[in-house]
């Protein structure tokens, strides 16, 4: 086979407080392998922070990625969702499964129909609601420090990440996911767990994944923001997924 015939198409979707920027090194690595890669930013965060409002929901985030895939005329997509973006890739595949080749949940939350991201442990929800009330004008959750994502203070990219993190619309945490089909909608799914350190709020999701038949499970020994702390290893891992 030629390099072109082996090429895959990746859409990498960022998590809360992040933007397409966080995939910088992974994007370049995968492109260097001959793959097509795009890293859209969802409404209200990253370079689209000027669109932040209380009206942004999970439906908005899903529409962002669907519109990107359709506008770029992408097919046979390996759709990767990090952290909060597990909701987005689930929503996308519910609506346009014919465009998706494989779903990759990178240390991400997984919700079933009617659940919201604030289904996470009550103590986590309480802390985030307090931040919204005291510092987020009732509209957004201020970004936590990079250490919250498993990025050590002395990591070379820590300051870069801190500069780029933006407030996240709390309405996306409050809104339920609305899907008509089971999670994954029949497409192949892989879950990648970041293990060092483990991101605590996702334990319920991980238990759910372990019960699913035919899901693939992989682990990477780095923190929650694997695309920042272990981009080369993550890129190689994603390149093997078909």
**Residues belonging to the active site:** 83
Would you give the end-to-end CA distance of the chain in angstroms? 16
Q: Where are the alpha helices (DSSP H) in the chain?
A: 3-6, 24-32, 58-71, 86-95, 122-135, 158-164, 171-174, 203-210, 226-229, 231-239
User: Are the beta carbons of 208 and 233 closer than 8 angstroms?
Assistant: no
Instruction: Name the residue among 145, 177, 175, 166 with its Cα closest to residue 44.
Output: 166
What does DSSP assign to residue 195? B
């Amino acid at each position: 086979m030629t390099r072109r015939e082996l090429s895959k198409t990746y859409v990498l979707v960022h998590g809360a407080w992040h933007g397409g920027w966080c995939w910088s090194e992974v994007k370049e690595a995968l492109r260097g392998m001959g793959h097509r890669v795009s890293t859209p930013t969802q409404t209200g965060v990253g370079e689209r922070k000027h669109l932040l409002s209380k009206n942004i929901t999970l439906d908005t985030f899903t529409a962002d990625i669907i519109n990107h895939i359709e506008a770029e005329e992408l097919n046979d997509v390996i759709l990767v969702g990090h952290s909060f973006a597990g909701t987005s890739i689930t929503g996308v595949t519910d609506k346009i499964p014919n465009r998706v080749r494989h779903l990759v949940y990178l240390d991400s939350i997984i919700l079933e129909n009617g659940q919201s991201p604030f289904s996470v442990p009550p103590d986590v929800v309480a802390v985030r609601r307090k931040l919204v009330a005291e510092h987020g004008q009732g509209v957004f959750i201020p970004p936590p420090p990079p250490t919250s994502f498993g990025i050590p203070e002395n990591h070379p990219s820590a300051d870069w990440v801190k500069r780029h993190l933006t407030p996240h619309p709390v309405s996306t945490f409050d809104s339920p996911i609305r899907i008509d089909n089971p999670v994954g909608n029949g497409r192949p799914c892989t879950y990648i767990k970041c293990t060092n350190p483990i991101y605590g709020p996702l334990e319920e999701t991980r238990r759910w994944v372990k019960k699913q038949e035919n899901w693939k499970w992989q682990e990477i020994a780095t923190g929650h923001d694997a695309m920042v702390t272990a981009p080369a290893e993550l890129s190689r891992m994603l390149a093997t997924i078909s």
